[in-house]
Amino acid sequence: MLVPKRILSIFNFSGRQLRFLKYCLWFFVPVVIAYIILEIVVVNTPINFKIIGQYYREHSDEIELIGLGSSQMQSAFNPAYAEVKAINFASKSQHHNEDFHILKQTRKNFPKLKYVLLEVSYSHLELPHHRDDYWKNSIYLNYYGVNGFGRLTTYKDKLLYLSNPRFFSNQLTDYYIFQIDKSKFNQYGFDTNNYDGPFNEMGFDEAKIAQHNFQKLNNEDLSIFNRNTAYLYRILDYTKAENLQVIICTTPFYKTYLKARNPNILRRRDSILQVIEKKYGNITLLFQENDTLHFTVRDFINENHLNPDGAKKFTGFVNQKLDSLN
Amino acid sequence: MLFNSFSFGLFLPITLLIYWAVGFKKIKTQNAVLLVASYLFYGLWDWRFLFLIVASSLVDYFAGLAVANSENRNNQKIYLYSSLLWNLGVLFIFKYYNFFIEEFALLFNQNQGEYMFSSLNLILPIGLSFYTFQTMSYTIDVYKKRIEPTTNLLNFLCFVSFFPQLVAGPIEKAGDLLPQFNKPRKFIAEDTKDGLRQILWGLFKKMVIADNAAIIVNMVYYNPENYGSYSLVYASVLFFFQIYGDFSGYSDIAIGTAKLFGFKLSRNFNVPYLAKGVTDFWQRWHITLTRWFSDYVYFPIIQKNLRSTTRRIIAILITMSLIGLWHGANWTFILFGLLQAVLMIMERLPMGRNRKTSFYYRKPRIPSFLMPVFTFPFIVASCILFRSQSMDQVAVIFERIFSFISSENIKELLNRKFLFFLFILVASEVYMRHKNFPLYQLDKHLNRPTRWVIYYIFIILIFRYAGPKEDFIYFQF
């Protein structure tokens, strides 16, 4: 028996129930073992968060700039080209609430931190924030030690595979089974081989790209805008109290996306940026969204994400901004 | 605590072990375990709303007793109306107050805030509509003398808050569920295995079908202006399967979980996409809700005038509008209900004097097995109303569908793996349509190794292909 008799004696199980219990244990033990193996494999798989976390732990006392934002920022800023020691915490679908958790909770480990590169993209203020049970919170907790759950964490919050089985299953099958993961991360966790995307598939043919259908945000939501703007002010108040220089940036868009933007969303975002610039002394803007002069079709993966070549140029603009601040 | 969460994966076996460990002869202790577990289950969402459940339970418990103890019919009515006032009042304040105030203000061109009533900033307690309807049915049934009132408060509290069906049904009638708390529960291994199989099937429907369908549906409905006719129709069909997988999956898990504790809950879905008409659809979809509204709204309106066409039309219109409104405080839901009513009236009522000439009673010229094919488009059209955020969005979607705009991006929406899983769902449910669920009593037909292989395949599918975790849609109702 798997259950000692002495323990069972305090319960009132019948023989039939005990047989059933044994049946269940036999059935579920392989499931639990398989899960533990998966969790171990996931922890040991090289994903960008792991590399960024490692870099964060090893270089936190030297870092002067941290990048925060969504996938657009993740693909646009390569700390390898930054003229100050930098780390890029931006990741896909990361909103300002996650940015703020990361900033607040990692701040104490960055004694030399001077600059925050914060993305306020076209869609940032009109997309709802994730809830506290957002799956990436497990990643932030595991790799950055950041608690985004808004409560005390439990052992369950550290289980990576369980946080998003689909995402990690895809990662594992791509990496170990099909071996099609082409990612090539530098020591900063930036993927230097991130060229695959619709633009590459279309051979950077501008005529084809002009016909390409793509996802864009056009839905307006004033209540979300009000909430997100208030949240942005909270972040900026915090940076002011911490004497941090904030570079609010927008990353370049390809011209088809520029044309497709909703003018109301754009107007609201731009007016907020203007107000912020006037209100806060520690804010400066790096507005590259409309820059079609320096960024050509070959700098993009898709309509609103830069490839590593575009990232090199964008990081150059960040450097120029840093120079202007000094 | 969600059924598809890790917390529930721990909560259920622990509760189950304690429940059976106390022994089936100690009914009171078992019920006390269930009550504590149910309050814990609910309180982990928001402990403040526990007070509301307890208050509702106490109001109906004492109302039931008062109705039974009073010999004067007028006094009985007062007790009944007090209970209804409480239940409907709570429901109105939490669920409908803002909607009516806003619509009222809009009607009289009043800006919110300047009007004497301003909207309330309240969170809708999870499962409010479900347990309120369950408690109301108890008091009404006691008043109508269909059941005897219970004098056991513990059992009544368990009946209202029984955690498997507390937040999203099935909505049980007191006459069906309450007596089960009075009787000793027997541990039957075959039923327990069936319970586990039903939970597994429910998790598959929720996590693999509904949550994957949600990716496409959310994408399309977030910005319908970006999609052509076929894409919108495809997304709307997928929404039907999303909501079906989501809600029937929840019901399967609830029924399966109840079985583990020795309880029997009512079937809530019966392969609704095989419905041969809209009336038939509502006898297959959310069966317990339809039954509730039939018993407490439709039949009381008709009373004895079953042959009166006008009364039946009015009864159908009122019942289906209320069913629509039950789903949420939005014009889209009201219109959804009205559309169902109109379709039902067209199906059921005599076209001429002869009742048998109606579509519903006339022998259809279309072969019976093809009837679902003709019904399904109407169901999908209703789904558009159900899913849309506003009437404006409904208009945009219908306009785009009937403008036959080309759908160049439909390929991006087609996911072969998901469509294969959908095929598994539909094929197995259609093939096993006479059983409660496709894995029902599997041990009668297959040996243990084969069964275990099937279970493991489902577990792997759930882990490997589960979509992003979405809340159960019906929680919001």
Flag whether pLDDT at B355 surpasses 60.
no
In a domain, B382, yes or no: no
Q: What is the ipTM of this complex?
A: 0.76
Flag whether pLDDT at A121 surpasses 50.
yes
Provide the shortest C-alpha distance from residue B3 to chain A (in Å): 15
User: How does the average pLDDT of chain A come out, rounded?
Assistant: 89
Number of domains forming the structure of chain A: 2
Residue A209, token pair as written in the block: 């790209």
In a domain, B370, yes or no: no
In a domain, B369, yes or no: no
Flag whether pLDDT at B104 surpasses 80.
no
Domain hosting residue A33, numbered range: 5-42
**CA dihedral defined by B107, B113, B116, B118, rounded to 10 degrees?**
90
Nearest to A302 by CA among A215, A184, A219, A217: A215
Assess whether A15 and A125 both reside in one domain. Answer: no
Assess whether A37 and A70 both reside in one domain. Answer: no
Instruction: Please name every residue paired with A287 in a beta bridge, in sequence order, or none if there are none.
Output: A250
Nearest to A162 by CA among B3, B6, B246: B6
Flag whether pLDDT at B258 surpasses 70.
yes
- The arithmetic mean of pLDDT across residues B81-99, rounded, is 88
In a domain, B250, yes or no: yes
> CB neighbours (10 Å) of residue B76?
19
In a domain, B42, yes or no: yes
Assess whether B233 and B213 both reside in one domain. Answer: yes
In a domain, B416, yes or no: yes
Q: How confident is the model at residue A7 (pLDDT cuts 50, 70, 90)?
A: very low
Distance, CA of B359 to CA of B280 (rounded, Å): 13
What pLDDT is stored for residue A1 in this prediction?
44
Assess whether A168 and A31 both reside in one domain. Answer: no
In a domain, B314, yes or no: yes
Assess whether A318 and A193 both reside in one domain. Answer: yes
Residue B165, token pair as written in the block: 């069906």
Pairwise pLDDT comparison (A179 vs B457), residue with the higher score: B457
Query: How far out from the chain centre does Cα B162 lie?
Result: 16
Assess whether B105 and B220 both reside in one domain. Answer: no
What pLDDT is stored for residue B312 in this prediction?
85
- Closest by Cβ to A165, choosing from B192, B409, B463: B463
Distance, CA of B180 to CA of B302 (rounded, Å): 32
Assess whether B15 and B153 both reside in one domain. Answer: yes
| Lowest model confidence (mean pLDDT) among A119-128, A308-317, B19-28 | B19-28
Assess whether B27 and B164 both reside in one domain. Answer: yes
B141: three-class secondary structure by DSSP? helix
> CB neighbours (10 Å) of residue B350?
16
In a domain, B197, yes or no: yes
Number of domains forming the structure of chain B: 3
Assess whether A155 and A253 both reside in one domain. Answer: yes
Instruction: Please name every residue paired with A264 in a beta bridge, in sequence order, or none if there are none.
Output: none
Assess whether B86 and B46 both reside in one domain. Answer: yes
Chain segment A258-312, per-residue pLDDT in tens: 998 989 999 999 999 999 999 998 999 999 999 999 999 999 999 999 999 999 9
Assess whether B21 and B152 both reside in one domain. Answer: yes
Provide the shortest C-alpha distance from residue A18 to chain B (in Å): 10
In chain A, which residues touch B (CB < 8 A)? Answer: 11-14, 16-17, 19-20, 27, 30-31, 135, 156, 159, 162, 164-166, 169, 213, 215-219
Nearest to A14 by CA among B33, B90, B185: B185
Assess whether A25 and A93 both reside in one domain. Answer: no
Assess whether B311 and B437 both reside in one domain. Answer: no
The DSSP bridge pattern shows strands A115-119 and A245-250 to be parallel
Residue A165, token pair as written in the block: 């089985």
Task: Find chain B residues with C-beta within 8 A of A19's C-beta.
Answer: 189
Assess whether B87 and B33 both reside in one domain. Answer: yes
Residue that terminates a domain, selected from B138, B163, B182: B182
User: How does the average pLDDT of chain B come out, rounded?
Assistant: 86
Assess whether B69 and B122 both reside in one domain. Answer: yes
Assess whether B111 and B161 both reside in one domain. Answer: yes
Residue A72: exposure state from Cβ atoms within 10 A (0-12, 13-18, ≥19): buried
What pLDDT is stored for residue B292 in this prediction?
94
- Closest by Cβ to B409, choosing from A17, A169, A213: A213
Chain segment B306-334, per-residue pLDDT in tens: 667 788 888 899 999 999 988 887 888 88
Closest-CA residue in chain B for A9? B21
Assess whether B422 and B326 both reside in one domain. Answer: no
- Closest by Cβ to A17, choosing from B187, B219, B226: B187
Distance, CA of B266 to CA of B443 (rounded, Å): 23
Residues of B assigned a catalytic role: 327
Provide the shortest C-alpha distance from residue B459 to chain A (in Å): 8
Contact across the interface for A162 and B187, Cβ inside 8 Å: no
What pLDDT is stored for residue B303 in this prediction?
79
| pTM of the model as a whole | 0.84
Assess whether B114 and B169 both reside in one domain. Answer: yes
Residue to substitute from A8, A12, A163, interface B, most B β-carbons within 10 A: A12
Residue to substitute from B6, B98, B260, B405, interface A, most A β-carbons within 10 A: B6
Q: How confident is the model at residue B24 (pLDDT cuts 50, 70, 90)?
A: low
Task: Output the domain CATH number for residue A210.
Answer: 3.40.50.1110
Contact across the interface for A164 and B468, Cβ inside 8 Å: yes
Flag whether pLDDT at B111 surpasses 70.
no
Q: Which residues of B110-148 are buried (b: 16+ CB within 10 A; e: fewer)?
A: eeeeeeeeeeeeeebbbbbbbbbbbbbbbbbbbbeeebe
- The arithmetic mean of pLDDT across residues A6-11, rounded, is 50
Q: How confident is the model at residue B444 (pLDDT cuts 50, 70, 90)?
A: confident
Domain hosting residue B254, numbered range: 189-274+389-476
Chain segment A180-218, per-residue pLDDT in tens: 777 788 999 999 998 888 999 899 998 888 888 777 777
